[in-house]
């Protein structure tokens, strides 16, 4: 996709603490995520994987979160669309595809979970849970433990705006606010909770407006402008790290696909609206920003895409060759090791 012209930028402020090398890495990560996401759509349409849920269009705010945190030190509780975030924090395409195919090499669950349930212990990425919004009180609990232990860490969670209608969201934010926790909540507001538009979900203009009721600042910003996303997210993380308490972030972004591979958004979404939103695609916007800055050379765009496609091809080959879990593995991780329940389950004799 070609870069957009500078006239289409909402912001011309490219200032950040990121070096030219950091910015090129950020661009490569966004391209890698986009191409891997597109490959998963193709694999699903070919009948080779069972399910896919996409982050296409939301990568700027997601990538900003991954770059603002310190992998392996801070904790991240991802949204199921956060492919580029987990890649920025240290997961590899092969890790993602192992989970997609349910292979034993899935670093999070050994092939037990459905696709897009990211989990990577080396980077403190805590597993996505299928029930929507459970990550928010989990994240608040980890932030509470961080504060009790006096650790120099931050806990961040991400979710869609539809999840803010769940009770877990309100309980988690209330606990974070009461205790002034090192907690950041990123709401990726794409205006649709599956098929329900925002104005049918809540009586406020911005999710961020609700932050003040829970004793924390709420910040709404352009979720497709990488530089704005990074600077806002970085400040929220640093604020939490300083001990100044939690922040509610609302990235106003765009979902450029259907809700998931099981959804047909033509039944509820105007095509003209979607075409207009494609003009705010964060990938060509970032490319345009970096080209105007002189950081991204025109020939580098094709080179990076070729490198990324080769990396994905290799990762897919490795994932396809990898073994599935042994049937006996179903008896692992049911109960804590060594407990009566664990011994009971493992005493079963099953003709595999």
pLDDT tens for residues 98-122? 999 999 999 989 999 999 999 999 9
Sign, CA torsion 174/247/185/94: negative
- Asked if residue 107 and residue 185 are part of one domain, the reply reads yes
- Asked if residue 332 and residue 313 are part of one domain, the reply reads no
Query: What is the model's pLDDT at position 15?
Result: 81
| 201 inside domain | yes
- Asked if residue 285 and residue 160 are part of one domain, the reply reads yes
Q: Is the pLDDT of residue 123 over 90?
A: yes
pLDDT tens for residues 201-230? 999 999 999 999 999 999 999 999 999 999
Query: What is the model's pLDDT at position 349?
Result: 62
Residue 186's SS3 state is strand
Query: What is the model's pLDDT at position 350?
Result: 62
Query: What is the model's pLDDT at position 5?
Result: 36
| 1 inside domain | no
**What's 162's domain CATH number?**
3.40.50.970
Mean pLDDT over residues 186-212, rounded?
A: 96
Query: What is the model's pLDDT at position 248?
Result: 98
pLDDT tens for residues 226-236? 999 999 999 99
- Asked if residue 188 and residue 95 are part of one domain, the reply reads yes
- Asked if residue 332 and residue 233 are part of one domain, the reply reads no
Residue 269's SS3 state is coil
pLDDT tens for residues 131-176? 999 999 999 999 999 999 999 999 999 999 999 999 999 999 999 9
Share of residues in the chain with pLDDT > 90 (%): 90
What are the structure tokens assigned to 213, written together? 């009721």
Mean pLDDT over residues 36-57, rounded?
A: 98
Sequence-distant (6+) residues with CB within 8 A of 30 are 59, 60, 63, 84, 226, 282, 283, 286
Strand ranges (E), 190-341: 192-193, 196-197, 218-222, 247-252
For residue 224, which of 293, 285, 271, 290 has the smallest C-alpha distance?
A: 285
- Asked if residue 280 and residue 247 are part of one domain, the reply reads yes
Confidence of residue 346 (pLDDT cuts 50, 70, 90): confident
Residue position matching structure tokens 């490795």: 318
- Asked if residue 336 and residue 217 are part of one domain, the reply reads no
- Asked if residue 306 and residue 226 are part of one domain, the reply reads yes
Sequence-distant (6+) residues with CB within 8 A of 32 are 84, 87, 93, 308, 311, 312
- Asked if residue 340 and residue 201 are part of one domain, the reply reads no
Confidence of residue 245 (pLDDT cuts 50, 70, 90): very high
pLDDT tens for residues 312-325? 999 999 999 999 99
| 26 inside domain | yes
- Asked if residue 336 and residue 268 are part of one domain, the reply reads no
Domain count for the chain, please give it: 2
| 24 inside domain | yes
- Asked if residue 262 and residue 170 are part of one domain, the reply reads yes
Structural domain that includes position 48: 6-321
Share of residues in the chain with pLDDT > 70 (%): 95
- Asked if residue 129 and residue 181 are part of one domain, the reply reads yes
Q: Is the pLDDT of residue 3 over 50?
A: no
Query: What is the model's pLDDT at position 1?
Result: 38
pLDDT tens for residues 253-262? 999 999 999 9
Q: Are 155 and 176 in contact (CB under 8 A)?
A: no
Confidence of residue 291 (pLDDT cuts 50, 70, 90): very high
d(CA 14, CA 18): 10
Q: What is the layout of strands, in order, in the sheet containing 247-252?
A: 75-77, 155-160, 183-189, 247-252, 218-222
Residue 272's SS3 state is helix
């Amino acid at each position: 996709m070609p870069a957009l012209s500078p006239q289409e930028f909402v912001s011309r402020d490219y200032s950040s603490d990121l070096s030219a090398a950091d910015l090129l890495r950020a661009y490569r990560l966004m391209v890698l995520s986009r191409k891997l996401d597109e490959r998963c759509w193709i694999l699903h349409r070919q009948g080779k994987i069972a399910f896919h849920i996409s982050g296409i269009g939301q990568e700027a705010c997601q990538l900003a979160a991954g770059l603002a945190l310190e992998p392996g030190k801070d904790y991240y509780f991802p949204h199921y669309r956060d492919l580029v975030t987990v890649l920025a924090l240290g997961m590899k395409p092969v890790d993602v595809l192992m989970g997609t195919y349910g292979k034993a090499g899935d670093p999070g669950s050994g092939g037990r979970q459905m696709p897009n349930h990211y989990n990577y212990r080396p980077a403190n990425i805590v597993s996505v849970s299928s029930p929507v919004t459970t990550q928010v009180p989990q994240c608040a609990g980890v932030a509470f433990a961080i504060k009790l232990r006096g650790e120099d860490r931050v806990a961040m969670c991400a979710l869609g705006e539809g999840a803010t209608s769940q009770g877990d969201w309100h309980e988690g934010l209330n606990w974070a606010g009461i205790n002034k926790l090192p907690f950041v909540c990123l709401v990726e507001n794409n205006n649709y909770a599956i098929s329900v538009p925002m104005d049918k979900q809540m009586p406020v203009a911005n999710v961020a407006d609700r932050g003040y009721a829970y004793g924390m600042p709420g910040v709404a910003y352009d979720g497709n402008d990488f530089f704005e996303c990074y600077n806002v997210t970085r400040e929220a993380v640093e604020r939490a790290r300083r001990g100044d308490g939690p922040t509610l972030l609302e990235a106003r972004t765009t979902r450029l696909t259907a809700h998931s591979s099981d959804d047909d958004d033509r039944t509820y979404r105007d095509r003209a609206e979607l075409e207009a939103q494609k003009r705010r695609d964060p990938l060509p916007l970032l490319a345009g920003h970096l080209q105007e800055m002189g950081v991204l050379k025109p020939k580098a765009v094709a080179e990076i895409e070729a490198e990324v496609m080769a990396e994905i091809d290799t990762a897919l080959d490795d994932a396809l060759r990898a073994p599935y879990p042994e049937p006996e593995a179903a008896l692992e991780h049911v109960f804590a090791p060594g407990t009566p329940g664990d011994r009971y389950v493992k005493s079963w004799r099953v003709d595999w």
